Amino acid sequence: MKSAVLLVDDDQNLLHGLARALRAQPYNLFTARSGDEALHVLKSHAIHVLVTDEQMPGMSGGDLLAWAAENRPEVVRMMITGNASAMSAIRAINEGRVFHFFTKPCDAMQLAIMIRKALEHQELVEDNRHLLRKCRSAPQQPERLLQQLDVLSKIVAEQLRGPLEAAHSDQHGPSVSVESTLRQPSLDVLRQALAATDVVQQLIDGLKGHFPASENEPQRV
């Protein structure tokens, strides 16, 4: 299933301009011209990333982000503001828990890059939730789940190292186009994810000592 992104702004020209700039991206794009329209989209579709203007008639962007944080916490939230006051920023961080801020005029290229990063972040969070649900569904087999997590952690780490090593080896090569850069995984996110797998592996290694060795595994002497 394709990811879905919701853009919200009461300025129709700005909204259409951003939508045109993002139309070639590999996700479904929804638009709304008010907080109320955005709520309807959020309630009726599986949205992965929400990008909203701050100052709008009726429900403000801050109110919309706060609602999404409370009722759709899986949605990654970002704000566009033309008046980046300290109070609006603090509120968005505390109540809306925003992933990123943009100031107007919003650069479409930077927006596209940050949406890609937000989708990668959302995918990692969902993978973690899936692992937690799996762990909770089989509490009677902790050592088996630990072995599965061990294998999964090593596989994920190996898959993350590939693009990073390729990027490192090509760092002196010819430059690439902006569009091809957008299609590559975010190297910053990959590095953060790889660091996270190292932490997970350390936790797994530490937990192994709390379970007796398997019958198929030789006892340590």
Mean pLDDT of 57-70: 91
Among 111-115, 131-135, 208-212, the minimum mean pLDDT is found in 208-212
For β-strands 100-103 and 4-8, DSSP reports them as: unpaired
Residues 160-188, mean pLDDT to the nearest whole number: 51
Q: Is the pLDDT of residue 220 over 80?
A: no
Q: What is the pTM of this model?
A: 0.58
Please report how many Cα atoms fall inside a 13 Å half-sphere around the Cα of residue 194, on the Cβ side. 16
Q: How confident is the model at residue 125 (pLDDT cuts 50, 70, 90)?
A: confident
At residue 94, does pLDDT exceed 90? Answer: no
Single-letter amino acid, residue 42: L
Residue 11 has pLDDT above 50, yes or no: yes
Provide the phi-psi class of 86: left if phi over 0, else alpha when psi is between -120 and 50, else beta.
Answer: alpha
| pLDDT reported for residue 39 | 96
Q: What is the mean pLDDT of the chain?
A: 75
Q: Which residues contact 142 (CB under 8 A, 6 or more apart)?
A: 211
| Alpha carbon 62 to its chain's center | 20
Residue 221 has what pLDDT? 37
For residues 221 and 24, which has the higher predicted lDDT (pLDDT)?
24
The answer for residues whose C-beta is within 8 angstroms of residue 78's C-beta and 6 or more apart is: 49, 50, 51, 52, 98, 99, 100, 101, 102, 114, 115, 118
Query: Count H helices, E strands: the chain?
Result: 8, 5
pLDDT value at position 42? 96
SS3 assignment, position 25: coil
pLDDT of residue 77: 92
- CA-to-CA separations, 122 to 12, 68, 136, 172, in angstroms, rounded: 28, 14, 21, 31
Q: Look at the block and give the residue holding tokens 């087999």.
A: 141
How many Cβ atoms are within 10 Å of 153's Cβ, its own excluded?
21
For residues 16 and 7, give the distance between their C-alpha atoms in angstroms, rounded to a whole number: 10
Instruction: Give the pLDDT of residue 108.
Output: 87
At which residue do the structure tokens 């991206």 appear? 25
Q: Which of 121, 187, 184, 195 is nearest to 153 (CA)?
A: 195
Could you give the percent of the chain with pLDDT greater than 70?
55
